[in-house]
């Protein structure tokens, strides 16, 4: 069975992200600039239902350190967020001067049946804004269940690849590759990954991210 999301994601909460950005250390004159990776998404990125250290951004930070890469990973996931909400948060994220942005938004738009022309435009604009700042963007796609109608689900899937081609950015076709639809790797809601599921996300994400990394 093709992995997919089945229901809407959790309501939005900006508190954790606000605290994260508020506490972000400033640059020290004369010191080497800190390299930053922002994981920019919704509850799948935020790690709803697992401990903060079990979310995929935290697991990725540990993987980077173990592999000898020096990056600070910022979890900029907001539960319930949409592409419109993400677009409004771009300026906020750019304050961290990211080197790399892992962009994984759109699931909530699709699950709410939003017009995909608008969703695509939002994704495209976010990628453009991050690129204009000098950040490298890794776009992660999502998929919808067939009960949303095959034409809509297929257009939704193709939308991500189209944005990636237009902006010439690396593309991971499905953030939940190997995780979605697997009860063992998902919480009882069937949507949000378990701690083990988040580890699988990092394993599947790594080959797409590694070419963007510098030592």
User: Which residue numbers are catalytic?
Assistant: 43, 189, 192
Q: How far is CA 207 from CA 61, 79, 143, 170, in A?
A: 15, 26, 20, 11
Query: What is the C-alpha separation between 206 and 155, in angstroms, rounded?
Result: 26
| Complete edge-to-edge strand list for the sheet that includes strand 72-77 | 72-77, 36-41, 100-104, 136-140, 171-172
Q: Residue count of the chain, please give it.
A: 215
b/e string for 101-120 if b means 16 or more Cβ within 10 A? Answer: bbbbbbbbbbbeebebeebb
8-state DSSP, 114: -
SS3 77: strand
Q: Quote the CA–CA distance of 88 and 117 in Å, as a whole number.
A: 18
- For the record, the structure tokens of 26 come out as 């400033």
């Amino acid at each position: 069975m093709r992995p997919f999301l089945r229901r809407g994601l959790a309501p939005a909460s900006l508190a954790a992200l606000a605290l994260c950005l508020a506490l972000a250390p400033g640059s020290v004159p004369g010191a080497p600039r800190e390299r930053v990776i922002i994981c920019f998404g919704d509850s799948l990125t935020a790690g709803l239902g697992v401990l903060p250290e079990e979310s995929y951004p935290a697991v990725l930070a540990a993987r980077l350190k173990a592999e000898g890469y020096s990056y600070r990973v910022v979890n900029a996931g907001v539960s319930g967020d949409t592409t419109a909400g993400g677009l409004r948060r771009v300026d906020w994220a750019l304050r961290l001067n990211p080197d790399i942005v892992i962009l994984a938004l759109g699931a909530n738009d699709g699950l709410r049946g939003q017009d995909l022309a608008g969703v695509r435009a939002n994704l495209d604009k976010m990628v453009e804004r991050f690129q204009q700042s000098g950040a490298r963007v890794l776009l992660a796609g999502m998929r919808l269940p067939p009960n949303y109608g095959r034409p809509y689900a297929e257009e939704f899937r193709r939308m991500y690849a189209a944005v990636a081609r237009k902006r010439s950015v690396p593309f991971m076709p499905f953030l939940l590759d190997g995780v979605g639809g697997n009860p063992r790797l998902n919480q009882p809601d069937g949507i949000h990954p378990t701690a083990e599921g988040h580890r699988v996300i990092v394993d599947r994400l790594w080959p797409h991210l590694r070419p963007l990394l510098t030592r």
